[in-house]
Amino acid sequence: MKRHLLESADLDRADATLVLDTAAQIDQALAGREVKKLPTLRGRTVVNLFYEDSTRTRISFELAAKRLSADVINFSAKGSSVSKGESLKDTALTLEAMGSDAIVVRHGASGAPHRLANWVRGSVVNAGDGTHEHPTQALLDAYTIRRRLGRLAGVRVAIVGDVLHSRVARSNVWLLHTLGAEVTVVAPPTLLPVGVGTWPVEVSYDLDAVLPKADVVMMLRVQGERMNASYFPSAREYSRRYGLDGRRMAALGDEAIVMHPGPMNRGMEIAAEVADSVRSTIVEQVGNGVSVRMAVLYLLLGGRSE
Amino acid sequence: MTSYLIKGAKPLGGGPADVLITDGRIAAIGDSLSATGAEVIEAGGLIALPGLVDLHTHLREPGREDAETVETGSRAAALGGFTAVHAMANTDPVADTAGVVEQVWRLGGQAGLVDVVPVGAVTVGLAGERLAELGAMADSAARVRVFSDDGHCVSDPALMRRALEYVKAFDGVVAQHAEEPRLTAGAQMHEGDRSARLGLTGWPAAAEEAIIARDVLLAGHVGARLHVCHVSTAGSVELLRWAKSRGVQVTAEVTPHHLLLTDACAESYDPVFKVNPPLRTDEDVAALRRGLADGTIDAVATDHAPHAVEDKESEWAQARPGMLGLEQALAVVVETMVETGLLDWQGVADRMSMRPAAIGRLAGHGRPLAPGEPANLLLLDPAARVTVDPAALASRSRNSPYAGRELPGRVVATFLRGTPTVLDGKAVR
Ligand SMILES: [Zn+2]
């Protein structure tokens, strides 16, 4: 593993597989245990530096670090010195001076974790940067697919929705490609980036044409505000053309699964009956997120203390 | 006034000759000149060029003296071989009145290192709503001839038309920052393969080209002069070529950084490479070089844009756009245009001195190296190779995109009306 986890685009197959295998070992080690805790990172400090509200991601990282016995500091940028104009660099240097070994950063600006990595000696984990990447989400998605379907190579994955603004989509595209899956992105043309043609994916505007061939359907959150900027005419039209409802779910193959990174807009991109169906891995993804983030922290930090 | 005898320099890269400077003018050019009392400058192997003229410089004074002042920017310009720079209007206060342009002009005179030629804002406060007092600025001591809202596009087509028409009365020119604002809301970098991957909001080439297309039609319609700032795309070059072929009075500039760098620089997320218009693709760079070589693009202009450390040492999206350019402009042109065989030294003089001086209507600059002409010139060592160290720059800011890069050529001396502003590669003050 490299020192940082900044983007899934720079994970090679061996590194990515190592994370997934390590997560599986952690799951096995903790299965049936009453105290879900390993001593691996005792004495190490992990800082959660969150410039955006994301309770679920923060809690997931917090739990992961605590289960590895690390000390955890939650540093919310809101209401702190940061909101009073302190720069990212000054914040980074302060956290480092306090002895942080890893900084888990969520930031609204694409590339913020890359900047941070220039300024600190410890590890930086990207917990979502702007519209760029969210690599641990992709890793937990890959882990979930592998557990459900037993493999990743050759698995056909449809990623559906606001690809343009989605860091989850970008991370999944690169990671799934690296791991041998076949990815199709499905969206109205307005929600695909110019340049998507250079990605290692198929592109489709037609969800109904893609569903029967998909082993995995990954629905992306679509923000209603997008319609104000004319990305689509109305929430209703979006839902009709690109939402996953019961009728569309019936077109899926028997083994196919439905994923969503959360939080969901029920009734917008995904119908309640789909989200709550047996095909849905949404709750499972949350649990797997903790194991995968434990694996990431372990691999980034664990090796260096011994 | 001291006389100077420059021995053995090669005017415009031609055969070696001696150049005698007296009373601020070139007194003679020839073989084995001698002059009693003249200070001799040994210039064997050096190339003599007319002093460079920049159509597009941000000197930041008044308002952001922490980033640059007229004096520090003038020093950077002199070290780059410039003898005149056009100071852009987006200061604080905006240079939209005779009072502000005269202030900048006076500061330039006090620094005395280059002629600082103020650019006047087209609209009051650069707000794009109503014309600033263009005539008052033209009639002021600063004699403004170039008007620009640079940093902002004059996007209202009716207002742009009126501005183009109005400045005809005093032979002015509107220099347009071509950027359709609705197409570039939140834009961070060139829109293409790399922006798709980096998750940075795209700045489409069409947002520049749409404005250029509109403006050349307007300029043709009203018979006015239009200048296009920092052309950055292959499509823009095509539009300019078409407009010129139709007889439209349009001129255009390209920056050194758009001749050398591409959007690949954004992959580092280092905001030193954030600039507006953004760095484009290899194909655009090639088209810009060709356009400059064939004269479709008239001039190289630096868009020298100093920024304080805190405005660049940040996240990409939070950083201010712009990069330093004055001190490395000639070196970048040597690398991208001369060493590639696209321009000879005569061509460099034309694109960096003659044509920009003509566009700005500067009488004393951009003149041939000939007896009787004002002694505005520079001496370049074309064999030198210099690794750019931002800490060593004369600019008050450090945001050079060329940090650590080795570039060809070194300005050894610059003369402004016969007085050296740079000698032995160092500013005289
Ligand atoms: Zn501009």
Q: What is the pLDDT of residue B264?
A: 98
At B3-19, the pLDDT tens digits run: 999 999 999 999 999 99
At B290-308, the pLDDT tens digits run: 999 999 999 999 999 999 9
Domain assignment of residue A306, yes or no: no
H-helix or E-strand spanning residue A94: helix A88-97
Place of tokens 């009203």: B222
The tokens for A9 are 């685009």
Same domain membership, residue A45 and residue A169: no
Same domain membership, residue B416 and residue B353: no
B264 interfacial to chain A (CB closer than 8 Å):
no
Same domain membership, residue A66 and residue A47: yes
Separation of B326 CA from ligand 1 center, angstroms? 15
Same domain membership, residue B56 and residue B31: no
Place of tokens 């798709």: B196
The larger pLDDT score, comparing residue B207 to residue A228, is at B207
Integer Cα distance of B74 and A256 in angstroms: 68
A73 interfacial to chain B (CB closer than 8 Å):
no
B303 tagged catalytic? yes
Separation of A123 CA from ligand 1 center, angstroms? 38
Task: Look at A111 and B200 and tell me if their CB atoms are within 8 Å.
Answer: yes
Domain assignment of residue B366, yes or no: no
**In 3D, which of A267, A280, A265 has the Cα closest to residue A220?**
A265
Same domain membership, residue B385 and residue B259: no
- Active-site pick, B303, B311, B350, B381: B303
ipTM metric:
0.93
Q: What is the mean pLDDT of residues B225-246?
A: 98
Helix A13-30 and helix A135-149: axis angle, to 10°? 70
Same domain membership, residue A154 and residue A96: no
Mean pLDDT of chain A: 94
The tokens for B187 are 């834009």
Domain assignment of residue A220, yes or no: yes
Domain assignment of residue A209, yes or no: yes
**In 3D, which of B305, B265, B296, B294 has the Cα closest to residue B282?**
B265
Amino acid at A251: A
Separation of A248 CA from ligand 1 center, angstroms? 50
At A53-74, the pLDDT tens digits run: 889 999 999 999 999 999 999 9
State whether the Cα torsion A51-B265-B348-B17 is positive or negative.
positive
Same domain membership, residue B296 and residue B230: yes
* CA of residue B137 relative to chain centroid, distance: 21
Same domain membership, residue B262 and residue B216: yes
Lowest mean pLDDT, pick from A199-203, B31-35, B144-148: B31-35
Name, in order, each residue with C-beta under 8 angstroms of B360's C-beta and a sequence gap of 6 or more: B53, B55, B84, B86, B117, B145, B146, B173
At B305-326, the pLDDT tens digits run: 999 999 999 999 999 999 999 9
Task: Look at A87 and B201 and tell me if their CB atoms are within 8 Å.
Answer: no
Return the bridge partners of A107, or none: A129
Task: Look at A132 and B193 and tell me if their CB atoms are within 8 Å.
Answer: no
Same domain membership, residue A122 and residue A181: no
Integer Cα distance of B118 and B104 in angstroms: 7
Same domain membership, residue A277 and residue A139: yes
> For chain A, how many structural domains are there in total?
2
- C-beta contacts of B11-18 below 8 A and 24+ residues apart: B11/B47, B11/B48, B11/B369, B12/B47, B12/B48, B12/B49, B12/B345, B12/B346, B12/B349, B12/B369, B13/B47, B13/B344, B13/B345, B13/B346, B14/B345, B16/B44
| Per-residue b or e along B226-258, where b marks 16 or more CB atoms closer than 10 Å to that residue's CB | bbbbbbbbbbbbebbeebbeeebbbbbbbbbbb
Domain assignment of residue B149, yes or no: yes
Domain assignment of residue A225, yes or no: yes
Same domain membership, residue A156 and residue A96: no
Domain assignment of residue B363, yes or no: no
A266 interfacial to chain B (CB closer than 8 Å):
no
At A11-28, the pLDDT tens digits run: 999 999 999 999 999 999
Domain assignment of residue A74, yes or no: yes
User: What is the band of A86 on the pLDDT scale with cuts at 50, 70, 90?
Assistant: confident
B56 marked ligand binding residue = yes
Same domain membership, residue B90 and residue B153: yes
Q: What is the mean pLDDT of residues A149-158?
A: 98
Counting Cβ atoms within 10 Å, is residue A34 exposed (0-12), middle (13-18) or buried (19+)?
exposed
Domain assignment of residue B347, yes or no: yes
> Phi and psi at residue B240, in whole multiples of 5°?
-65, -40
Name, in order, each residue with C-beta under 8 angstroms of B226's C-beta and a sequence gap of 6 or more: B164, B173, B174, B176, B215, B216, B218, B219, B248, B249, B250, B251
Same domain membership, residue B101 and residue B190: yes
Amino acid at A140: L
- Answer with the one of B358, B388, B409 that is the final residue of a domain: B358
Same domain membership, residue A124 and residue A13: yes
Q: Which residue of B has its CA nearest to A119?
A: B313
Same domain membership, residue A98 and residue A187: no
Same domain membership, residue B318 and residue B172: yes
Angle among Cα A61, A67, A70 to the nearest 5 degrees reads 80
Same domain membership, residue B41 and residue B155: no
Task: Look at B315 and A112 and tell me if their CB atoms are within 8 Å.
Answer: yes
Q: How many angstroms away from the CA of B277 is the closest CA of chain A? A: 18
CB contacts, 8 Å: A133 with chain B: 199
Q: What is the pLDDT of residue A306?
A: 37
Q: What is the pLDDT of residue A303?
A: 58
- Protein residues with C-beta less than 5 angstroms from the ion ligand 1: B 150, 177
Same domain membership, residue A82 and residue A152: no
At A229-281, the pLDDT tens digits run: 899 999 999 999 999 999 999 999 999 999 999 999 999 999 999 999 999 99
Domain assignment of residue B367, yes or no: no
Name, in order, each residue with C-beta under 8 angstroms of B42's C-beta and a sequence gap of 6 or more: B7, B8
A82 interfacial to chain B (CB closer than 8 Å):
no
Task: Look at B199 and A107 and tell me if their CB atoms are within 8 Å.
Answer: no
Three-state SS at A47: strand
Task: Look at B196 and A193 and tell me if their CB atoms are within 8 Å.
Answer: yes
* CA of residue A164 relative to chain centroid, distance: 16
**In 3D, which of A54, A73, A65 has the Cα closest to residue A26?**
A65
CATH number (domain holding residue B191): 3.20.20.140
- Answer with the one of B358, B384, B400 that is the final residue of a domain: B358
CATH number (domain holding residue A235): 3.40.50.1370
Domain span holding position B220? 51-358
- Whether residue B216 has pLDDT greater than 90: yes
Query: The pTM is what?
Result: 0.95
> Could you say which of B193, B313, B316 has the minimum Cβ distance to residue A110?
B316
Same domain membership, residue B377 and residue B327: no
- Whether residue A305 has pLDDT greater than 70: no
Same domain membership, residue B420 and residue B347: no
- Answer with the one of B358, B388, B415 that is the final residue of a domain: B358
Same domain membership, residue A167 and residue A266: yes
Same domain membership, residue B337 and residue B385: no
Q: What is the mean pLDDT of residues B120-137?
A: 98
- Whether residue B116 has pLDDT greater than 90: yes
Same domain membership, residue A74 and residue A23: yes
> For chain B, how many structural domains are there in total?
2
Q: What is the pLDDT of residue A79?
A: 59
At B257-303, the pLDDT tens digits run: 999 999 999 999 999 999 999 999 999 999 999 999 999 999 999 99
Same domain membership, residue A160 and residue A271: yes
CATH number (domain holding residue B380): 2.30.40.10
Counting Cβ atoms within 10 Å, is residue B8 exposed (0-12), middle (13-18) or buried (19+)?
middle
Domain assignment of residue B368, yes or no: no
Q: What is the pLDDT of residue A82?
A: 59
Domain assignment of residue A3, yes or no: no
Write the DSSP assignment of A234-272 as a string of letters. -HHHHHHHH-B-HHHHTTS-TT-EEE--S---BTTTB-H
Domain span holding position A84? 8-133+286-301
A129 interfacial to chain B (CB closer than 8 Å):
yes
Domain assignment of residue A2, yes or no: no
